[in-house]
């Protein structure tokens, strides 16, 4: 499968050296690994300072996807990119907690919605 084809399921927007990634609902394992490699290379090529993962379309997240997205975020963090997760729905959060996922809130920041996420990135870069 062409890497970009499966990656089409998520949309990426670039604004002022930040990437806003809208995570699609129910991404397959292939989608996820394609997403992981694309997002890290793009961040590198475009000299990205911050990445926002927008979960507002996600109704359900399994442990595998969570782990994948968590790992990508940590990799980005290592590359000096700020990562903010936004728009997690209460239902998704509750199921993640029930699954016993340990989320690293020290390296990955969270915000309620896209607006607050952007604010957070702006704050970080002005510091």
Partner 1 sequence: MDNRIDNPVMRQEISTDLKLQLLDQIPTPVMAVNRDFEIIYMNQVGAELLGKNRGELIGKHCYNQFHTPHCNNDRCCMRKAMTTGEMVSSRNKIPLSDGDKHIMYYAVPLKDEGGNIVGGLEYIVDISEQVSYEERLQEQSRQMSTPTIKLWDGVLVLPVIGVVDSLRAQLMMESMLNKIVETSAKVILLDIQGVAAVDTAIANHLIKITKATRLMGCECILSGISPAVAQTIIQLGIDMVDSITTKSTLSDGLAEAFRILNMKVQKIT
Inter-CA distances, 82 with 16, 31, 59, 63, Å: 14, 23, 25, 23
Q: Work out the number of other CB atoms within 10 angstroms of the CB of residue 64.
A: 10
Q: Of these, 4, 45, 105, 126, which contacts partner 1 (CB under 8 A)?
A: 105
The verdict on 86 binding partner 1 (CB under 8 A) reads: yes
Q: Which positions from 2 through 61 interact with partner 1, judged by CB under 8 A?
A: none
The verdict on 127 binding partner 1 (CB under 8 A) reads: no
Residue closer to partner 1 by CB (options 46, 112) is: 112
The verdict on 63 binding partner 1 (CB under 8 A) reads: no
Nearest in space to 66 (alpha carbons), one of 20, 33, 101: 101
Torsion of CA 107, 69, 85, 46, to 10 degrees: 90
Q: Which residues bind partner 1 (CB under 8 A)?
A: 85-86, 88-90, 93-94, 96-97, 103, 105, 109-113, 116-117
């Amino acid at each position: 499968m062409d890497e970009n084809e499966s990656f089409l399921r998520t949309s990426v927007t670039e604004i002022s050296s930040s990437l806003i990634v809208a995570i699609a609902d129910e991404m397959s394992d292939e989608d996820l690994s394609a997403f992981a490699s694309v997002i890290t290379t793009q961040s590198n090529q475009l000299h990205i300072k911050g990445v926002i993962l927008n979960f507002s379309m996600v109704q359900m997240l399994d442990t595998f996807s969570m782990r994948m997205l968590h790992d990508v975020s940590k990799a980005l963090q290592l590359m000096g990119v700020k990562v903010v997760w936004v728009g997690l729905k209460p239902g998704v959060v509750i199921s993640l907690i029930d699954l016993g996922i340990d989320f690293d809130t020290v390296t990955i920041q969270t915000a309620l919605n896209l607006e607050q996420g952007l604010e957070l990135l702006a704050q970080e870069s002005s510091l």
